[in-house]
Structure formats: C-alpha cells, structure tokens
Copies of this chain bind each other. A is one copy, B any other.
Amino acid sequence: MTDVAVTDVAVAGGGLVGLAVAWRAARRGLSVTVVDDAPGAGASAAAAGMLAPVTEAGYREEPLLRLGLDSLARWPAFAAELEAAAGTPVGLRTAGTLVVGFDEDDVRELGVLHAFQRELGLAAHRLTPREARRREPALATRVRGGLLVEGDHSVDGRAVHAALLAAARAAGVVLVRDRVAGVVVDGDRATGLRLASGGAVAAGATVLALGARSGDLPGVPPLPVRPVKGQVLRLAGAAGLLEGTVRALVRGRQVYLVPYGGDRLVVGATSEDRGFDARVTAGGVHDLLHDAIDVVPEVTELELTETLARWRPGTPDNAPLLGPSSLPGLVLATGHHRNGVLLTPVTAEVTAELLATGALPAVAAPFTADRFERSPAWS
C-alpha cells in the first residue's frame, strides 16, 4: 500500500458534515485531508436545508432537541463566517416555519405536537385557517389549521456545500477524489483511510463522516447506522409563492415545501426502509406531488426540475454518533438522520474541538456511540 498523504486528520466523506469538520479543524491549525469520490453527491444533494429542531421534535428525543437548538443557535455566526470565507451566499432564511393540518385529524395531530412543544417550553403558536393563510396566502382553502414556529429556519443545502468546499480549500484542506475503501487499523488503532484506487491517507486522527455508508465500512467496528431512503423533488418558478418553510400533515402523511434560491422549492420527503435502493419511484414522486398540491395548489404550475433519492444515516434513537469510537484514533461524525444540515455547525465545532484538544465538549457527550452498549434496548 502506498501512502498518498500524511496528515493530522483524515476525514472520510466530503458531504456537509465531513467538509464542515475539515474546515473547522483546519481553522484550528490542523492539517486535514478529505476523501470522497463525489463530494456532496450523497444525502447532502437531497437535503432540503431545514433548520427545524422544534418542528422536528419527537417524543423521547429531548437530548436530540437540545442538540438541535444548540446547533440552530450557532447557524447565524456559522453562516456569516462561511460566507465570508467562501465569498458565496448560503441562503440562510429566517422567516420561520408554518406547520399546517389538512383535515380534522391532521389538525388534532398538530394540537398534540403543540402541547408537547409547550411542555418543553418551545416557542410555537396556533393559527386559525384564516391566520395561516394571512401568513401564506398560497395555502389551499381546505387547510384546517396551523402552528407557527418562528424560530425554525432554513438554508440552501447545496449552496452551503459549495461554500464549504471553497472555505475548506481556502483553509488548506486537501481533497482527495477517491472512494473510501476502509479505515486502516494498525494494532488497536485507526491510522488513516484506505482508498479504492489502492493508496492510503495516513493520519493521526480519522473522522468517519460517510453518512449512511458509515455502518459497514471495513476496519470500522459495526455501528448502528442504516440507510433510510428519502425521495425529494425540486421545483422552479416559485418566486414569491411562500414566505417561509411550509410543513404539512396531509391525511396523516408529512410533506414539506422549503423555498430557496429566489424561485426554487424543495418538496420532501419520503422515508423508506429499503436498504441502498437508489430508485426514484412513481409512487414516491406521486405522493409528494399529491400532498404538496393539496396544501399549495399553485404547485401544479411549477416546473419539476429534479427528482432524487438518497439515504439518510438512520440510528436507533434518530440522534447522531459523535466523538470518540471504540477504536482509538477513529472519531465519529455520522448518523445525522433527518438533521444533517441543522447539526452541521455543532458537529463541526465539537469534532474540531476534540481533534484539537482531545476533549469532547459537554453538549456532545450524550451522543457518543457507547450509549447503545449501555442500553440493552438497542442491542
């Protein structure tokens, strides 16, 4: 095996998380190499860019909620610093998020969600159908009620990725365009990354940021990360259509519409346990269009510019895997499931701190992989 590089930190995966970790680590003075054969072509390409810890809040997921709120609070400074470093915008929108219910059962569900949010002290308030349409006049008249979460925002995920590529390069990060074939283990320690083309990157520390592919990489101890397929659509011609993100429950099914880039809209997302199935299906596209049109009828007239299927890195508790792993030298930054964009700043910053100082910040402590060994329910 020929080493192609020796570096302080080798990062497996050049998606949003991997690049953000690399950028932050490089800014801490570390030499960093990122390995990815197609940076940004994985889940980062599909992400709608919601920064929505409150509307994503689920029962028994309070630790994840707190991490999400922490990362959301970091986003404005992170975005500003990133835009300054890259010289390109990342499309941070702070217009808030409106959740609507399509029929009476859906509105009842919103009531349950709202009660839970209030119990947790989160800012959200109910809107009548008329109030909901005052905020978003494009809503269907059939929509029965809403819930406004002024603190849940969005970014343009692809713009963030492009900016991270530029910022990382400017900070001296080396990008190796090759497929990660495995982690090199020397004795009991990770010492870098093996490349599909044959070489290797020798590193003092190795970061695993391969998203859904993190679960079964050769050399890595088995991790409870599984692919959760999501299909998303991109539409054009939506200038002025929506004020902010619209999420909806439509006959019990979730759909979201996230405006970006002036006249664009992301509509997502299915959630399917189908392994690494990359097919965009007739049923997936149909359901997304059907629900989106039910909620915002003018969607009918928009141009369908893209359909895409990717895999979220799902974990048993829907929370990420951060910090040291059971393999010395291997640091985890994966398992972000539905929250990759939201959790990018906190992941990057705690991981860079760990790489630079050896200490994992307290905010990340609940998310180390050994939590699954402690809890027999996940085994």
Binding-face segment, A181-189, A293-301, A357-365: A293-301
Q: Does A292 contact B (CB under 8 A)?
A: yes
Q: A305 — nearest CB in chain B belongs to which residue?
A: B280
Q: How far is the CB of A280 from chain B (nearest CB, A)?
A: 5
CB distance from A221 to the nearest CB of B (A): 35
Contact A301 B280 (CB under 8 A): no
Determine whether the beta carbon of A285 is less than 8 Å from that of B289.
Answer: yes
Q: Which residues of B contact A377 (CB under 8 A)?
A: none
Which chain B residues lie closer than 8 Å to A283 at the CB level?
A: 289, 293, 299-301
The complex places the Cα of A307 from the Cα of B304 at a distance, in Å, of: 9
A128 contacts the other chain (Cβ, under 8 Å)?
no
Contact partners of A293 in chain B: CB under 8 A: 282-283, 286
Nearest B residue to A280, CB-CB:
B304
Render A274-289 as a binary contact track against B, CB cut-off 8 A, 1 for contact.
0000011111111001
Complex Cα distance, B300 from A281, in Å, reads: 7
CB distance from A302 to the nearest CB of B (A): 5
CA distance A52 to B286 in the complex (A): 28
- Interface extent on A, as a size class? 20 to 34
Residues on B with C-beta less than 8 A from A286 are: 286, 289-290, 293, 300
Expressed in whole angstroms, the minimum distance between the Cβ of A227 and any Cβ of chain B is 17
- Least distance between A89 CB and chain B CB atoms (Å): 26
* A279: B residues at CB distance < 8 A: 237, 303
| Residues of chain B lying within 8 A (CB to CB) of residue A299 | 282-283
Bound form: Cα–Cα A215–B305 in Å:
29
The smallest beta-carbon distance between A296 and chain B, in angstroms, is: 10
**In this complex, which of A286, A292, A307 has the most chain B Cβ atoms within 10 angstroms of its Cβ?**
A286
Looking at the assembled complex, report how far the CB atom of A288 sits from the nearest CB atom of chain B, in whole angstroms: 9
Q: Does A235 contact B (CB under 8 A)?
A: yes
Smallest beta-carbon distance A357→chain B, Å: 48
- The chain B residue with its CB closest to the CB of A289 is B286
Q: Cα distance A157–B285 when bound, in Å?
A: 25
Whole-angstrom distance from the CB of A294 to the nearest CB of chain B?
A: 10
Contact across chains for B307 and A281 when beta carbons are under 8 A apart: no
- Residues B281 and A303 in contact, CB atoms below 8 Å apart: yes
Residues of B within 8 A of A285 (CB): 285, 289, 304
A237 to B282, alpha carbons, bound, how many Å? 11
Name A292's closest neighbour in chain B (CB-CB).
B282
Residues of B within 8 A of A292 (CB): 282
Of residues 287 through 333 on chain A, the ones whose CB sits less than 8 Å from some CB of chain B are 289-290, 292-293, 299-305, 307
Please provide the 6 A-B residue pairs with the shortest distance between their CB atoms, ordered closest to farther: A283-B300, A286-B289, A279-B303, A282-B302, A280-B304, A282-B299
Q: A285-B304, A286-B293 are in contact. List 17 more A-B contacts (CB 8 A).
A: A233-B282, A235-B282, A237-B279, A279-B303, A280-B304, A280-B305, A281-B304, A282-B289, A282-B293, A282-B300, A282-B302, A282-B303, A282-B304, A283-B301, A285-B285, A286-B290, A290-B290
